[in-house]
Every structure is written in C-alpha cells, then in structure tokens.
Amino acid sequence: MAAGIAAAVIGILAAVGEHAARRAAAGQTTRFDPMIWEAARRNGLSPFLIKAVILQESGFRPLARGRAGETGLMQVTPAAIRDWERRTGFRLGNPGLAFDARLNIEIGAWYLAHAMTQWQNAEDPLIPALSQYNAGRRNALKWHVGNSSGVGLERIRFSSTHEYIRNVQDQCRSLESEFIRREHRTTNRFGPAQPPAG
C-alpha cells in the first residue's frame, strides 16, 4: 500500500512539475513574439494559435527534437519541410537551418495555414487542420474526409490527438485573453498596446 501511495505521489509531482515547466516556458516567450506575429500576418493565422502550437509542440525550446525527426519550436516534420520547399521554391540546404527560430516558425505556420485551406469547407477547419498537424495527413483524411459539414473531435481515433487539439484550443483562448487583458491595462496607462514590431 505504501508503495502505491509513493507511486501516486511521484506521479502527481511529475505532472505538477511538467505543468509548472510549461507555464514558465509560456511566460518567457516574448523574444519570439515579433517572429510569431510576422509569420501570422504572412500566413493569415492568429498569432495566438501559432503560439499555442509552439507551446504544445516544444514548450518554446528552439532546439527541441522529436522521435520522428521533428525539429525546433513548431516541431516541423521532414515531410512538412519538403512540402514547403516544393511550394516556395526555397531550399534549406543545411538541415540544421530547420532549428532557426524564424524559419521554423515560418515553415510551421505555412504548413498549418495550408492545412486550414485544405479543410476550408469543414464546419470548423481548425480541428482537421490540427489533426493533420499532429497525426499526419493520412490520419486526418481517414477521420474527416466525407464529413466536411460535421467534422468534430468525436471522429478522431487517437486520444493523444484529441488531447493535443483541446490543449491547443485552450492555450489559444488563454493567450488571447491574456493579451487583451495586457492591452487593456496598457491602454488605460499609456494608450493602445501595439503588436510586437517585426
């Protein structure tokens, strides 16, 4: 019984530690804001969505590396990089460039915006787009194709993708609310807040 209690306590402490680390990372991300706002403008996305994806993917660690070869802040996959290269005509050349924060954010934002366009006829294009970003296009097609008028979380077969989408949506709302609160405080003191300069 004591071993079971100890294991439960360790599990709780690990979860609390991970949550605290993510919150600390989220609080130390303003140095990426100009890049995020720039990529958001260029790709027609909410900067809060990009920031939420980065928080979920890498916890704002620019040198993060995934098990399947994902790289950088937005954990872009080799396939996403190839798609981006094909569409833009730009070649990375050196694979290490995928860790460059500005370039990584641009590729990740482009890929997410492209997925949103592919699912533009869905009731909520963000759900299949985030499914695709997290679990790949093949799975997104399996879950969502032919259901464009009623795409929802209930069609997703991976619990990890379910959780990923919910977390990104929650973080996006939270980041936007925090920005609005900050803007309100700044407006009251110094005039309207401005988005970060590019």
Domain positions in the chain are: 31-190
| Whole-number pLDDT of residue 18 | 54
| Whole-number pLDDT of residue 156 | 86
Domain made up of 31-190: CATH architecture = Orthogonal Bundle (1.10)
| Whole-number pLDDT of residue 181 | 87
- Secondary structure of the chain in HEC code, one letter for each residue: CHHHHHHHHHHHHHHHHHHHHHHHHHHCCHHHHHHHHHHHHHHCCCHHHHHHHHHHHHCCCCCCECCCCCECCCCECHHHHHHHHHHHCCCCCCHHHHHCHHHHHHHHHHHHHHHHHHCCCCCCCHHHHHHHHHHCHHHHHHHHCCCCCCCCHHHCCCHHHHHHHHHHHHHHHHHHHHHHHHHHHHHHHHCCCCCCCC
Total-model pTM:
0.78
Measured CA distances, 173 to 29, 33, 137, 147 (Å): 17, 17, 25, 26
| Whole-number pLDDT of residue 106 | 97
| Whole-number pLDDT of residue 183 | 80
Residues in the chain with pLDDT values less than 70: 1-29, 146-152, 186-198
| Whole-number pLDDT of residue 73 | 98
